[in-house]
Each structure stands twice: as C-alpha cells, then as structure tokens.
Chains A and B, each alone.
Chain A
Amino acid sequence: EVHLLESGGDLVQPGGSLRLSCAASGFTFSSYAMSWVRQAPGKGLEWVSVIGGGGGPTYYAASVKGRFTISRDNSKNTLYLQMGNLRAEDTAVYYCARGASGGWYFFDYWGQGTLVTVSS
C-alpha cells in the first residue's frame, strides 16, 4: 500500500527557513516524480514544485522560485522541500504527492500534509 508521510512543519518567523520531509513507502520511490502542493488555510490548492524520479529535472511555481529547493534521497525513500526567506503568504498545509506513472502532472497519491505557519 502506498503511503506518504510529511513532517517538519512548524511555526517560523518571516525571513526564516524550514525543511520539510516526506517519507514514502509501498512503491518503488525512484521510479516516480514527486511534487509538493500547498493549501493556505481556507483556500485552494497551489502546486509548488516537482522533481523527477532520478533527481531531475526540477520545476517551481513562480511564487517560490529562488526561495525553495526540492530534492530527494532515493536511498532513504524521502522527498524534501528546503524553504527559505519565508513570508506570511507561505503559511499553508504542505502536501507531498506522487506523480502518476502516466504523467507527472497528475497526482495519484497524497500525504496527509504538514502545517507551516509563518508569523512573528
């Protein structure tokens, strides 16, 4: 059974940094692209970033480009999101999501999310 478990969410001050992790199990992790998708409180979904199964390529939403870095460790079946220069508008639940085998741009499994709050 596919399982995705995010961790690392926390309360952080504006301008601060945070690293999120997503532990994957139940599938061959290195064979799938993985994405981060976020959802601000009471708002809709926003795609953040994607990384290919082998570690590349990587793409980012304009709102986070230059501040966030996506990476993965296939030996640990873990996806990461390094977040820097955080802003209040980055406050959201962050989900990791598996790109389907038929196309990375749709997501067939999601984690339960981890909450990031940016506030002073």
Chain B
Amino acid sequence: QSALTQPPSVSGSPGQSVTISCTGTSSDVGSYIRVSWYQQPPGTAPKLMIYDVNNRPSGVPDRFSGSKSGNTASLTISGLQAEDEADYYCSSYTSSSNGVIFGGGTKLTVL
C-alpha cells in the first residue's frame, strides 16, 4: 500500500501560518478519525503533535491544530516560530492491513 500523500516541503516566515495536507483513501483517512501528526527535528525521534484528527497531547502548543475533510487531513501551524522547523508526518489507521500508514513527510522551513 502506498504512503499517504504529503507535499515534500512548505515554508513560511515567523508569525505566519502554514498548512500541511495529507491525502489518503477511503481505506484510511477517509473512513476513520484515527489520524495523527508527528514532528521530527533532524536527528531526533518523532514527537506526537496531534491525534484523532484534532486533539493535542499535553504540552503541545495550541498553535498546532488539525482537521479533516473527506480523504484529506491537514495540520495547521499558526504563529510560526523558528523552533517549528522540522519534518512533519501524518499517519492513519488503515483497514487494508489493520495497521498504520504514514505520509511521506513534509519539510517545514521557517524563513
């Protein structure tokens, strides 16, 4: 099964907002709220930022928000800060394998 589709890169200036899309199919994103987002700075392990489409774990700033429409989920980061520069990955439960499928990742550059 192919990975979820994310744009390879996005960028924004400090203080601006950016949105990263994540497109799947009716076997994953389109049929479940089980969509998550992870942040991975270079050389580090991933960190959970959003789960179940739009929920933030304790400690994640409210500048990070998630949404979903049809087969596409989105992560929006408002009030961009230099520390937000990282790779971002979406993931979803998939009924195809009763497992998890990740997106290809999006590199966020803060200009």
Contact = CB atoms under 8 A, between A and B. Distances in A.
29 contacts: A37-B102, A44-B3, A44-B102, A44-B103, A45-B40, A45-B91, A45-B102, A46-B102, A47-B91, A47-B99, A47-B102, A50-B100, A59-B98, A59-B99, A60-B99, A61-B97, A61-B99, A62-B1, A95-B46, A102-B52, A103-B51, A103-B52, A103-B93, A105-B34, A105-B93, A105-B100, A107-B46, A108-B51, A110-B47
A111 interface: yes
A49 B103 CA distance: 17
B10 to A, nearest CB: 15
Chain B contact residues, majority secondary structure: strand
B61 interface: no
Interface of B: 1, 3, 34, 36, 38, 40, 45-48, 51-52, 57, 89, 91-93, 97-105
A37 B105 CA distance: 14
A100 interface: yes
A47 B99 CA distance: 8
Nearest to A46: B102
Given A62-B97, A110-B45, A45 B105 contact: yes
Given A62-B1, A105-B100, 9 more contacts: A44-B104, A45-B46, A45-B91, A47-B101, A50-B100, A59-B97, A103-B52, A103-B93, A108-B48
A23 B43 CA distance: 21
Most B CB contacts (10 A, CB to CB) among A105, A108, A113 go to A105
Chain A contact residues, majority secondary structure: strand
Given A102-B52, A108-B57, A45 B38 contact: yes
Contacts, number: 68
Contact of B51 (A46, A50, A106): A106
Contacts of B91: 45, 47, 105-106
A46 B99 CA distance: 11
A95 B45 contact: yes
A85 interface: no
